[in-house]
């Protein structure tokens, strides 16, 4: 947390350098801004055009005729029960966030504040986990799910990732800076070990829990490969799966596919607007990807 | 644990070995045993299984007669899968093409990404604190977006007639390529055009991470050093080249490693934007693993290829550890 607080508390730095250099700096930064934002704006505009305007060459950037037709078409499509798909994605993401936060903080607390035999071995195993790409273990993970009869079930998206090595690592880092006196004081007052964790440690983990929670949420919400493998029934699809399916059905109708993309992007954008500080700070702190 | 508590504990001999009182022991092992049993099933066992699978000609559609469906009609073939990687068969060729593509992709992404993020971070660092946050927040926006939506979006940006990019190229008076994603004979500087397109889309989506990491690292450089250089009359470029870059070296190394490793694992952009085409010019190793495992059910073959992916990640990580042993004192 050190660096960030330091930077935030420092007085606003006066812009350095000559006016020309500053002008050039802003010019480049604004070009970067345009490159970042224009694709988003472009597909938003596309989704607001009538189908006839989209095929026109050269294309228009802003719609000549504004319409919500594409969105209405999607909402009215009986093959696309949108609420269902939002619910699927939300269920998987929330379940994974809640479980990951619990297991990460619990194991992180134990690795940070207790000494016991085999600790280094177990923590070493967690560190090794950090290095294993998902694609390496996805085949056996799939075969395990087949054995557990969890294929084509939303639980199949939750159960294989209930313990997150990175989460444990992150929590251990944060909890090691937590004062021992506070924990001991609670023990002297007669609190059981789980109560200490629940009532003393947990309430002080707001920042790391928020960071880990948001990242787990976004990673799950945007995850594509694992749902692609596990889910086969249309009604159980998560939003990214729905999006590729919908695009395969309406390949040339760019008004519809771009509107569908906007609908998938929107919730995560809202989350980002609210939690932007936590997210950017989290990356700066952890190098999390 | 307080000293008093230790002194009053009768089981002091045992406790010193494990460091836990009975109540703590119940808590620690009550929590860790389920967690590590779980990790045994969902982390350790898959790692062992994937190695075992790579020695078999295994497909889940055939019923083997041994443990885990191995043996019998899913025979043990020793190093057969790994030998097949070098064979002059279609599967062997596709594998080698996918490894080559993945390496081209990863190195170009790294180069382009650093060329953009490092100078951009310096520029963002130099503007007023209030707008700095705004720039950073917006530059970071693509990284949180769904990769599938980004791939579909960029597929449309690259559309030959209606796409934003070709129309922009026309607007500034240049001749745009006929097709970005589907023309196998189109190359730019020796790299297939479709690969360039995928790299553009991926760097666009991913550069925010490195930017934020660099900005944080720049904030950690003591102002005195840069001010001193300033007073000594260093130009902006000299300051960047002689002060910023050397002081950022540990961060630079971390960023290079993370970018490399994550580029090896990119799947969605390839799968959704190009599907590996045209003529396998953008077929990545991850696509090759996915298709063989889950479309052709050739899981033994796919398992051996996923071990190659693991080896690639491992090599990059070990190189990083090796370089990290150098002293970075300043």
CATH 1.10.3720.10 segments of chain A: 82-286
- % of chain A surpassing 90 pLDDT: 61
With respect to residue B30, please indicate whether it lies within any of the assigned structural domains. Answer: yes
Quick check: is B302 in a domain? yes
Cβ within 8 Å, pair B299-A6: no
Per-residue pLDDT of chain B (330 residues; tens, 9 = 90+): 333 443 444 444 444 445 788 888 889 999 999 999 999 999 999 999 999 999 999 998 887 777 777 877 888 898 999 999 999 999 999 999 999 999 999 999 999 999 999 999 999 988 888 888 899 999 999 999 999 999 999 999 999 888 899 999 998 988 888 889 988 888 888 899 999 999 999 999 999 999 999 998 988 888 888 788 878 888 878 888 888 888 888 889 989 999 999 999 999 999 999 999 899 999 999 999 999 999 999 999 999 999 999 999 999 999 888 887 665 544
Answer whether residue B330 is part of any domain: no
- Our count of domains for chain B comes to 2
pLDDT at B326: 63
Report yes or no on B175 lying in a domain.
yes
**Is the domain of B71 the same as that of B99?**
no
- pLDDT tens, position by position, A175-215: 998 888 989 899 888 888 899 999 999 998 888 898 899 88
Closest-CA residue of chain A to B207: A36
B220 touches chain A (CB under 8 A): yes
B123 domain-assigned: yes
Listed residues B29, B48, B80: the one ending a domain: B80
Those residues with Cβ within 8 angstroms of residue A50's Cβ, 6 or more apart along the chain or in another chain: A63, A65, A67, A69, A255
Average pLDDT over residues A150-174: 94
The domain defined by A82-286 carries CATH number 3.40.50.150: no
* pLDDT tens-place string over residues B282-330: 999 999 999 999 999 999 999 999 999 999 999 999 988 888 766 554 4
Q: Of the residues B80, B106, B138, which one is the last residue of a structural domain?
A: B80
Q: Are residues B31 and B139 in the same domain?
A: no
Does residue B236 form part of some domain?
yes
- Same domain membership, residue B264 and residue B145: yes
User: What are B140-164's pLDDT values in tens digits?
Assistant: 999 999 999 999 999 999 998 888 9
The reply to whether B56 touches chain A by the CB within 8 Å rule is no
Residues B294, B159: one domain? yes
Residue B230 is predicted with a pLDDT of 79
Question: How does the average pLDDT of chain A come out, rounded?
Answer: 88
Q: Which of 83-112 (B) contact A at CB < 8 A?
A: none
* Domain interval for residue B15: 3-80
Same structural domain for residues B188 and B301?
A: yes
Residue B327: predicted pLDDT: 55
Q: Residue B187 pairs with which residues in a beta bridge?
A: B192
- Give A57's contacts in chain B (Cβ within 8 Å): 161-162
Please tell me which of the candidates B123, B152, B309 has its beta carbon nearest to residue A29.
B123
> Is pLDDT of A288 > 70?
no
Q: Give yes or no for B256 touching A (CB within 8 A).
A: no
Q: Which residue has the tokens 């951009």?
A: B120
Residues B160 and B250 in one domain: yes
Does A110 sit within 8 Å of B144, measured CB to CB? no
Provide the percentage of residues in chain A whose pLDDT is more than 70.
Answer: 93
Task: Decide: helix, strand or coil at residue A5.
Answer: helix
Residue A12, pLDDT score: 41
Distances (CA, A) of B223 to A7, A12, B218, B228: 12, 13, 10, 8
Q: What is the pTM of this model?
A: 0.89
- Token pair in block for residue A21: 């250099």
Domain end point (choices B53, B80, B107): B80
Domain assignment of residue B329, yes or no = no
β strands within B112-256, DSSP E? 187-188, 191-192
B148 and B214 share one domain: yes
Here the CATH number for the domain that contains residue B250 is 1.10.3720.10
Q: Are residue B66 and residue B177 in the same domain, yes or no? A: no
Are residue B124 and residue B249 in the same domain, yes or no? yes
Is the minimum CB–CB distance between B294 and chain A shorter than 8 Å?
Answer: yes
Residue A255 has pLDDT above 80, yes or no: yes
Q: Average pLDDT, stretch A102-111?
A: 95
Residues B157 and B21 in one domain: no
Residues B70, B97, single domain; the answer is no
Q: Please check whether residue B166 lies inside any domain of the structure.
A: yes
Residue of A nearest to B285 (CA): A135
A59/B90: higher pLDDT: B90
Question: B233 and B119, same structural domain?
Answer: yes
When pLDDT is cut at 50, 70 and 90, the band that residue A2 belongs to is: very low
């Amino acid at each position: 947390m050190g660096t960030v607080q330091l930077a935030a508390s420092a007085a606003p730095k006066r812009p350095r350098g000559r006016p020309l250099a500053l002008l050039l700096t802003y010019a480049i930064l604004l070009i970067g801004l345009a490159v970042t934002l224009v694709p988003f704006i472009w597909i938003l505009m596309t989704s607001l055009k009538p189908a006839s305007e989209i095929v026109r060459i050269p294309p228009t950037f802003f719609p000549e005729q504004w319409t919500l037709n594409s969105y209405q078409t999607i909402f009215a499509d009986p093959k696309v029960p949108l609420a269902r798909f939002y619910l699927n994605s939300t269920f998987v993401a929330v379940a994974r966030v809640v479980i990951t936060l619990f297991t990460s903080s619990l194991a992180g607390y134990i690795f940070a504040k207790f000494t016991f035999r085999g600790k280094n071995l177990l923590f070493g195993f967690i560190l090794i986990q950090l290095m294993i790409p998902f694609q390496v273990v996805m085949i056996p993970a799939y075969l395990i799910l087949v054995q557990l009869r969890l294929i084509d079930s939303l639980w199949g998206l939750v159960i294989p990732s209930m313990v997150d090595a990175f989460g444990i690592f992150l929590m251990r880092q944060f909890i090691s800076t937590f004062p021992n006196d506070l924990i001991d004081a609670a023990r002297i007052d007669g609190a059981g070990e789980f109560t200490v964790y629940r009532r003393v440690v947990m309430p002080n983990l707001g920042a790391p829990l928020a960071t880990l929670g948001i990242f787990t949420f976004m990673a799950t919400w945007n995850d594509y490969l694992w749902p692609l493998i596990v889910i086969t029934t249309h009604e159980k699809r998560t939003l990214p799966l729905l999006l590729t399916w919908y695009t395969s059905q309406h390949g040339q109708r760019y008004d519809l596919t771009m509107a569908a993309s906007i609908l998938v992007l929107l919730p995560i954008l809202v989350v980002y607007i609210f939690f932007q500080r936590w997210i950017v700070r989290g990356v700066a702190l952890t190098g999390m990807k | 644990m307080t000293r008093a508590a230790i002194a009053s504990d009768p089981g002091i001999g045992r406790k010193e070995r494990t460091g836990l009182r009975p109540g703590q022991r119940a808590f620690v092992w009550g929590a860790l045993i389920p967690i590590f049993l779980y990790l045994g099933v969902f982390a350790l066992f898959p790692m062992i299984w994937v190695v075992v699978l790579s020695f078999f000609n295994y497909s889940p559609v055939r019923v083997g007669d041994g443990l885990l469906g191995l043996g019998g009609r899913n025979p043990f073939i020793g190093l057969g899968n790994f030998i097949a990687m070098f064979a002059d068969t279609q599967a062997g060729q596709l594998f080698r093409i996918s490894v080559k593509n993945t390496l081209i992709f990863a190195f170009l992404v790294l180069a382009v990404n650093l060329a953009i993020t490092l100078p951009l971070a310096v520029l963002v660092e130099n503007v007023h604190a209030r707008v700095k946050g705004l720039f950073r927040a917006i530059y970071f926006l693509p990284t949180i977006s769904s990769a599938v939506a980004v791939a579909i979006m960029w597929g449309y940006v690259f559309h030959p007639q209606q796409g934003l990019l070709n129309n922009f190229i026309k607007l500034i008076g240049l001749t745009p390529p006929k097709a970005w994603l589907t023309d196998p004979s189109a190359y730019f500087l020796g790299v297939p055009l479709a690969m360039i397109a995928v790299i553009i889309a991926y760097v666009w989506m991913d550069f925010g991470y490195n930017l934020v990491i660099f900005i944080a690292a720049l904030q950690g450089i003591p102002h005195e050093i840069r001010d001193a250089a300033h007073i000594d009359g260093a130009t902006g470029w000299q300051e960047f080249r002689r002060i910023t870059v050397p002081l950022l070296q540990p961060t630079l190394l971390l960023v290079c490693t993370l970018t490399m490793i994550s580029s090896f694992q990119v799947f969605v952009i390839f799968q959704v934007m190009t599907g590996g085409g045209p003529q396998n010019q953008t077929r990545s190793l991850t696509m090759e693993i996915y298709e063989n495992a889950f479309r052709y059910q050739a899981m033994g073959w796919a398992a051996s290829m996923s071990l190659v992916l693991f080896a690639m990640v491992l090599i990059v990580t070990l190189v990083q550890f090796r370089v990290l042993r150098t002293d970075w004192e300043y």
